[in-house]
Chain A
């Protein structure tokens, strides 16, 4: 019988230590694991490096950890939805690296899939691309993008079972899938927890093999989306 991975949030999150790299699922608030981020706010850790599509939405998400001085560097495709990130960068308190969105997602997937990296046409002929090795295959030039492997990943699913099989809802799936693949220790917060056999095996998005710890969400995500939709 597959192991029950449901643990108290303190136990799962105690794996996070200063200086670690953390992959974070979500997309400007859609699918962001805010229960886990809220807990991280209370922990005595610093110098974390975050790999995420963005840094949250307005004042919610990883940007809160930046405000608290816990983050050394953010690697993202876009940080325009959290103005504080630009401010922190300009003040020199935060390092920011931007990478193409598809490249970040595929780097995570590659890290989890045992690959060394992949070849992409994205970025050829740009300043960004100059920092990558170029490789020609069958007459077309590609950039070599290396796989990403993180110490920790934190993700959020709408439904999950005790082994960590996960199902996302709507556009909340996004980076949660590749993030859940790329880390040594993967923590999933689930809004609805099921016993084994209750989830339709045909409809599981992330198989439990990728997940190490399951934690119950304690946030009302309906209220948060209302705010995102109606405040501009």
Chain B
């Protein structure tokens, strides 16, 4: 994915953060959200390999050999942070102690199903902590490019790959739009990014959704 698209998605995702939230960011694009925390908002970042209170990436030469995130990038730890083992980490995750998680995906559908860990018949990576995060975090955000590399929609009528989580996705943020799932209406298109129209979104989205009465056009991505 092009860097500018990633930044558009990460910036919009950052605006979802609420002061005081405890969050976990997936590897790759979701990690960039840490650079887009709005002014006046303080969030606490947990990383599933065993730390909470993750701070900025240290300057080159100042990395600590035993301070890294789940993507193996060096981290710093803010005052009040701590380290723990994997059982404790997943007690936090499964036990409902995380306010939100942000993860990438291969597919997501209108029921809130998420498929993000394997493509059948192709190389297997594994679900890592994603299955636990999707099950345990209070709000599950999917942050993803709107379409796959071959141009086909990632927001599907129904996921065809094995699910990572069933009916767990609450918010979908792409470089083109933001959808939020409501208990009775399903996914609602709330925002369309600059340079896109309602028709554009309809044409590249197979997932069922309704358009919000007060849908915002040019909502982000300027």
A residues with a Cβ closer than 8 A to B are 27-31, 53-54, 57, 76-81, 86, 89-90, 96, 98, 100-103, 105-106, 108-109, 120-128, 158, 168-178, 205, 221-222, 224-226, 228-230
Q: Which 3 A-B pairs have the closest CB atoms?
A: A125-B166, A102-B90, A170-B66
B124 engages A77 (CB within 8 Å): no
A229 engages B63 (CB within 8 Å): yes
Q: Count residues of B near A (Cβ-Cβ below 8 Å).
A: 48
Most buried by B among A76, A125, A126: A126
Whether a CB of chain A sits under 8 angstroms from the CB of B195 is: no
B87 engages A77 (CB within 8 Å): no
B57 to chain A, nearest CB (A): 10
A123 engages B66 (CB within 8 Å): no
Chain A residue at minimal CB-CB distance from B60: A230
Whether a CB of chain A sits under 8 angstroms from the CB of B211 is: no
B residues with a Cβ closer than 8 A to A are 47-51, 60, 63-70, 72-75, 83-87, 89-90, 93-94, 113, 117-118, 123-132, 135-136, 162-167
16 CB < 8 A contacts A-B: A29-B72, A76-B126, A101-B129, A101-B131, A102-B93, A105-B86, A106-B87, A108-B87, A170-B51, A170-B65, A171-B50, A171-B66, A177-B86, A224-B65, A225-B66, A230-B60
Chain B residue at minimal CB-CB distance from A27: B49
7 additional A-B residue pairs with CB within 8 Å, beyond A102-B132, A121-B94: A27-B86, A28-B49, A31-B66, A122-B136, A126-B164, A170-B67, A229-B73
Given A127-B162, A170-B83, A173-B85, the answer on whether A96 and B90 have CB atoms closer than 8 Å is no
Other-chain residue from B60, B72, B94, B128 in contact with A122 (beta carbon distance below 8 A): B94
B128 engages A77 (CB within 8 Å): yes
